[in-house]
Structure 1
Amino acid sequence: MVMERLLADFTIISMKELTVGMLKPLPALIILAAAAVISYVQKLGLQKDMIYSVTRAFIQLSVVAFLLDFILRQKSVAWILLAFIFMVILAGHTAGTRAKHVPYGAFVAGVSIFVGTSITMVILICVRAFPFTPHYIIPIMGMMVGSSMTITGVTLKRLRDDLRLQKDMVETALALGATPRQATLTQLKRALTVALSPALDNAKVVGLISLPGAMTGLIMGGASPFEAIRLQIMVMNMNLGAATFSSILSTYLVCSFLFTSTYQIKEKVIRVE
């Protein structure tokens, strides 16, 4: 039934509209092609990754465009929840891959991202910051999940790296009777600081050095700069809030997986790469 509806929606778009729509971004590839040529001439070896990344992005965004068009036509909350769960699972896997030496990293990241973004989303809905419609909910969820994924992944990776480098310090604290949370408090704080610093620095200079995506998109679409700024402030705050919730929660959840039942750092965590 779902596939039939997707195919029906696909046939609504004429091949002419599809072809023209997908060809419009092609002129922007000129700059990328020039960068790939420079990489080849200088023997940097980056041209293959450039071609692969752009091709993959083109395919992914094309598929997502059709899926979003279908979901946005629906009025069921179930589709919004399904999209959210899919985003969280993929984000958790990606963040877990970044922190590959953290036991159950994907699970910890996934749960943290889910809780952090859910709390932020519920607050925004309760205060009626935006209408509860797919056109608003899905893009906002995507931005929050993306920000939380990046910061949570960096938090877990940095925490693991610090534990490996400062193993003796942590184990000494454990031997003196400290709990895993107490023994790793310094490393936890440093990991959170490192992970959140780019987002905080960006918030300090937003609008002065760069115009963020949401604001730029609205201005290019003809919206008033004041309206664009209002939306950008909301987007920036909710992204930072969701990412902060997620990263802090991940530090609480991961402690139980970093140590054995006898309060020793697991071998996988301190293994040299």
Structure 2
Amino acid sequence: MHHFSPHQGKEVTWILAMDLEWLLEYLKGMLKPTLALVVVLMAVILSYMQKLGLGGEMVYSIFRAFVQLSIIGFVLEFIFTQKNVGWIVLAYLFMVCVAGYTAGQRAKHVPRGKYVAGASILAGTAVTMFLLVLLNVFPFTPQYIIPVAGMMVGNAMTVTGVTMKRLRDDIKIQMSLVETALALGATPRQATHQQVKRSLVIALSPVLDNAKTVGLISLPGAMTGLIMGGASPLEAIRLQIVVMNMLLGASTVSSIMSTYLCWPAFFTKAYQLETKVFMSD
């Protein structure tokens, strides 16, 4: 039988004490987020009073957010301590996959929508991030790249989903116009130019409006986080300007890419509309 030496016993006790101290610190830190659930309770009560039937979904959503954020906190804590670039790439690709799936769900009537959305988001965010790193705007470290990638992927996901859904719906509404243009010899791109333009304008308008009003109506998340963390407002503003630029760039590239990738599913090889794509509601 193995016996612990007094030295080993002290070492084990010290490790357990450290683990217990870390756990207590974590629980103490979660006190304020838990107290903030009071406002969720208010929303649930209002939902019940108005008979909206959203109380259960609100509770589920906030519980899921709590679990997801807690897990991602531990994951980021691990990644930030690693020196391996592979973890950054893996985290980025995971975000792109989830975003592609979510955007594809929004545009569920677009064939292979999840793959189209995923490829579009990957293209837009990867090009933008590559340029930012190349110009040395951000260092290629987990502390910078993962949060930056998360913001870009999130915005690109929303814009891409709206673009794909709107393009498919507009073509469905104006099938006769598109078919007439095709019959007169127009290419799919020429025949759907107005629909593509409209879908892109609608999808990108919130991003543009946000850029126009940033700082006037609300302080954005990145800027608020820095200020609350003790950074000077001027430093926070510099970062926020970079963030707004990259969000606009990534969203524009991703949304335009999605329109190009949608065309093969919307048209036959003979340049005719694939009517079965537009039959379902």
TM interval, short-chain normalised = over 0.9
Match of 1:108 among 113, 116, 135: 116
Taking a change above 3 Å as real, the CA distance of residues 249 and 12 of structure 1, as seen in their structure-2 partners, is farther
Local SS of the residue matching 2:269: coil
Hey, what does 2:264 align to over in structure 1?
A: 256
Whether 2:85 is the aligned partner of 1:73: answer no
Whether 2:127 is the aligned partner of 1:144: answer no
Provide, for residues 128-174 of structure 1, a one-character-per-residue CA deviation record: whole Å limited to 9, x for no partner: 00221111111111111111111011100110110111111111111
Hey, what does 1:98 align to over in structure 2?
A: 106
Hey, what does 1:225 align to over in structure 2?
A: 233
Partner Cα distance (2:104, 2:145) in 1: 25
Hey, what does 1:6 align to over in structure 2?
A: none
Hey, what does 1:35 align to over in structure 2?
A: 43
Local SS of the residue matching 1:55: helix
Match of 2:184 among 172, 176, 181: 176
Partner Cα distance (1:21, 1:102) in 2: 44
Provide, for residues 74-102 of structure 1, a one-character-per-residue CA deviation record: whole Å limited to 9, x for no partner: 11111111111111111111111100001
Contact 1:103 1:268 in 2 (8 A): no
Partner Cα distance (2:222, 2:66) in 1: 20
Partner Cα distance (2:276, 2:95) in 1: 28
Structure 1, gaps ≥5 residues long: 1-10
Structure 2, gaps ≥5 residues long: 1-18
For 2:193, give the aligned amino acid: L
Partner Cα distance (1:268, 1:78) in 2: 42
Contact 1:96 1:106 in 2 (8 A): yes
Local SS of the residue matching 2:36: helix
CA RMSD in angstroms, aligned pairs only: 1.5
**Normalized against structure 1, the TM-score is what?**
0.93
How far the C-alpha of 1:18 sits from its partner, in A, is: 2.5
Contact 1:214 1:232 in 2 (8 A): yes
How far the C-alpha of 1:31 sits from its partner, in A, is: 1.3
Hey, what does 1:208 align to over in structure 2?
A: 216
Contact 1:101 1:268 in 2 (8 A): no
For 1:48, give the aligned amino acid: G
Partner Cα distance (1:180, 1:243) in 2: 23
Hey, what does 1:197 align to over in structure 2?
A: 205
Contact 2:102 2:157 in 1 (8 A): yes
Partner Cα distance (1:205, 1:268) in 2: 42
How far the C-alpha of 1:39 sits from its partner, in A, is: 0.9
For 2:57, give the aligned amino acid: D
Match of 1:188 among 188, 192, 196: 196
Partner Cα distance (1:35, 1:92) in 2: 30
Partner Cα distance (1:25, 1:110) in 2: 33
Hey, what does 1:157 align to over in structure 2?
A: 165
Contact 2:171 2:195 in 1 (8 A): yes
For 2:34, give the aligned amino acid: L
Identity %: 62
How far the C-alpha of 1:253 sits from its partner, in A, is: 1.3
Hey, what does 1:48 align to over in structure 2?
A: 56
Contact 2:109 2:280 in 1 (8 A): no
- More displaced, 135-144 or 20-29? 20-29
Local SS of the residue matching 1:24: helix
Partner Cα distance (1:268, 1:31) in 2: 47
Contact 1:102 1:268 in 2 (8 A): no
Partner Cα distance (2:49, 2:246) in 1: 44
